[in-house]
Amino acid sequence: MKGLSKDRLWSMAVLAPSVILIAVFVYGFIARSVYVSMTDWGNDPAQALALEPIIRWVGLANYQELFTGFLQGRFRQELVSTIFFTVFFILGCLGLGLGLALILDRNPKGEGLWRTIFLFPMSLSFIVTGTIWRWMLQPGGGVNQAPTLLGGQPSTFGWLSSTDALWKFDWNKLPLLTASVVGLVLIVLAVRAARSGDRTRTLVAAACAALLLGWALLIGPNVKLLPAPELHGFNLALIGIIIAAVWQMSGYTMALYLAGLRGIPEELREAARVDGANDLSLYRHVIFPLLAPISLSAMIVLGHISLKIFDLVYAMAGPDNISTSVPALNMYLTSFRQNQFALGAAIGTILLILVAFVIVPYLSSQFRSEEGHA
């Protein structure tokens, strides 16, 4: 205790209640959920709501059921839908937000009013956004009636009810596709590490990439998760959900990009113009590279939102629309409608792992960069 100053002891005493509360009510409940996901709680309806239910340890059986079980095709489609939703949601928010920021950066007339209008959707809850867009995307009105304003025929597209799908693939090929994608990503990381002169990371990334791609070529085609083909793809009904989500969150990315653009010194722009750079070269070689950290931060936040999206889907399409369902909605229904608490906890744990894959590397890189600056 001699090495601890009075201020340090006081700081630890002040932080202790918060640390204890977080340990119990965050990490404690996470540990409890992981434990429940490895039991059979809820498999027997007679025991699900009992005061003292008989719970048995089943290990990873619930996870195996979700990924390979005959009755869990809906969950597998939801995972695929979440990936597509995340990709288009992030691209839409980044693209629209950057475009709006570039317009406002030129100081148009009424900039303050336009900035308020673009930011307004972000102040709404997803429930309000979902209700508004559900009205607008009704089959017999709203957006589908827009062509009649130009003398055309009303559209019949089912924005929230279409059962058509694009880019279908067999779920049995998931291990092969996953290994191939991760292997290619590792190759890119190895090339970047080699260019930066980090030999250790280059060798590790290259070795892992070689192992994964070798497995994908030699063993992957023979791996079968299901006894029969099961096709999944991008359900067109998700388009309506994506439009509503982009409409709400693009103002957030606009604010980030606008702050980044306003933070670039005017002297830097003038120096680039003196060197002969036109507007296209200025943005391509100077401004956009400086905005890269903002893009990464926005992608992390938007990815986190998209992976656990629930309320927007519930408000727009309801709980029983399989075409637009997502894992968070399935977790809710499985846990509180079917009382299959262990299976619902397994879905929640999978979502936690997906979010961790997005958040943890970013936080780790931020921590390392702060240590480097220190």
- Residue type (1 letter), 346: A
**Architecture of domain 16-164+236-373 in this structure:** Orthogonal Bundle (1.10)
CA-to-CA separations, 171 to 35, 68, 84, 344, in angstroms, rounded: 28, 9, 15, 21
pLDDT over 90 percentage in the chain: 57
Q: Would you say residue 82 has pLDDT above 90?
A: yes
Q: Would you say residue 374 has pLDDT above 60?
A: no
Mean pLDDT within 93-105: 95
pLDDT over 70 percentage in the chain: 96
Task: With H, G, I as helix, E, B as strand and everything else as coil, classify residue 157.
Answer: coil
State the chain's mean pLDDT as an integer.
Answer: 90
Give the pLDDT of residue 373. 58
Dump pLDDT digits (tens) for 283-314: 888 899 999 989 988 999 999 899 889 999 99
pLDDT class of 104 with cuts at 50, 70, 90: very high
What is the distance between the alpha carbons of residues 143 and 141, in angstroms, rounded to a whole number? 6
What is the distance between the alpha carbons of residues 158 and 348, in angstroms, rounded to a whole number? 30
pLDDT class of 363 with cuts at 50, 70, 90: confident
Please list the alpha-helical segments (H only) found in 23-125. Answer: 29-37, 45-48, 61-68, 73-105, 111-119
Evaluate the CA torsion angle 148, 152, 153, 156 in order and state its sign.
Answer: negative
Domain ranges of the chain: 16-164+236-373
Give the pLDDT of residue 5. 73
Q: How many secondary structure helices (H) and strands (E) does the chain include?
A: 17, 2
Answer with the residue of higher pLDDT: 111 or 254: 254
Give the pLDDT of residue 372. 60
Dump pLDDT digits (tens) for 194-246: 988 888 889 999 999 999 999 988 888 888 889 999 999 999 999 999 999 99
Q: Would you say residue 9 has pLDDT above 90?
A: no
Dump pLDDT digits (tens) for 132-161: 999 999 888 788 888 888 888 888 898 998
Give the pLDDT of residue 4. 62
Q: 324: buried, middle or exposed (CB in 10 Å: 19+, 13-18, 0-12)?
A: buried
The answer to whether the beta carbons of residues 302 and 315 sit under 8 Å apart is no
Dump pLDDT digits (tens) for 310-332: 999 999 999 889 999 999 999 99
pLDDT class of 78 with cuts at 50, 70, 90: very high
- Cβ neighbours of residue 153 under 8 Å, at least 6 residues apart? 147
Q: Would you say residue 1 has pLDDT above 60?
A: no
Q: Would you say residue 43 has pLDDT above 60?
A: yes
CB atoms within 10 A of CB 66: 21
Q: Would you say residue 369 has pLDDT above 70?
A: no
